[in-house]
Amino acid sequence: MSDAAQPTAAEVRAAAESVKTALDRHLAAVERRSGEDDPAVSEAFNQLAAAAEAYDELLYDRYDEVTPFEIPGAEDTLPPYAGPEEPSALSVLIRRDYTVAEPQRLLAQAQRVEAAEYEQIGGDGDEAAGTVPGALGVLFGEFEPDEIASRHKEFGLEEGDSTLWVTAADEAPEAGEWLDAPFEHIDAQRVVCRFDVSAVFDDEDVEDEDDLEFVEDEATVDETGDGTGAGAGDTER
């Protein structure tokens, strides 16, 4: 960063004062909390996180120093559950990341599947499994995602992070209603529970189980297992 773009000492000092003020407000909100999911506490927490992040950035830009603590931003935590008390429908959202670690193994497995299918129906086929995108299409078309996950090494894949969200709805959508944009318009306040798995938790001294953030009776209950965070940034208040 150029000297002209650097924050002034006064700006850094003002940011530090904002952190102090946010700390006082957060403590006051905690002392006055009315329940497990008091919105005033959540708001004060998010304000403190924002103030701390702003100060940390200015401190680094001006003095090349950082603070000794990490506070997740507001976007890193799930808001209190605000969905129906008795959901009549639900959606399960799953993301699993993989690295194509062994392309030749992937191609070989897909070609076996393709050959078996052509043997059953006759003909030579169009050899879709001859490329990595084509092989992925063949394998994911043949096997369920859970089977791919359990046998990923056989298919030349290496697991990355994964997450599963269960969201509540008042009623099931009409057939085909969301197929053009299946992952848009997700309301975080309707997330009933979520499970996260990430390699960042491997070094933590905890049991080898998934962390669960479960919303029950409009209150969040955490059952900590292997340290997998319930928030989007794997950190949690």
Co-location of 87 and 199 in the same domain: yes
Q: Which residues pair with 157 in a beta bridge?
A: 100
Cα–Cα distances (Å) from 32 to 29, 36, 190, 192, in that order, read 5, 12, 26, 27
Placement of tokens 């969301």 in the chain = 178
Other residues' Cβ atoms within 10 Å of the Cβ of residue 109: 22
Placement of tokens 């046998």 in the chain = 151
Placement of tokens 């062994």 in the chain = 102
- Cα(78)–Cα(35) distance, rounded to whole angstroms? 17
- Cα(111)–Cα(60) distance, rounded to whole angstroms? 53
Co-location of 166 and 225 in the same domain: yes
Structure tokens at 168: 């509540």
Co-location of 171 and 60 in the same domain: no
**Could you tell me the mean pLDDT of each successive run of 10 residues in the chain, 237 residues long?**
72 94 94 85 87 90 85 57 89 94 95 83 63 94 94 95 91 91 85 85 52 42 37 38
- Cα(160)–Cα(101) distance, rounded to whole angstroms? 11
Co-location of 87 and 204 in the same domain: yes
Co-location of 142 and 223 in the same domain: no
pLDDT, position 78: 66
Q: What's the pTM?
A: 0.53
Co-location of 22 and 48 in the same domain: yes
pLDDT, position 237: 34
Co-location of 120 and 189 in the same domain: no
Query: What is the domain extent for residue 111?
Result: 102-155
pLDDT, position 189: 85
Co-location of 93 and 174 in the same domain: yes
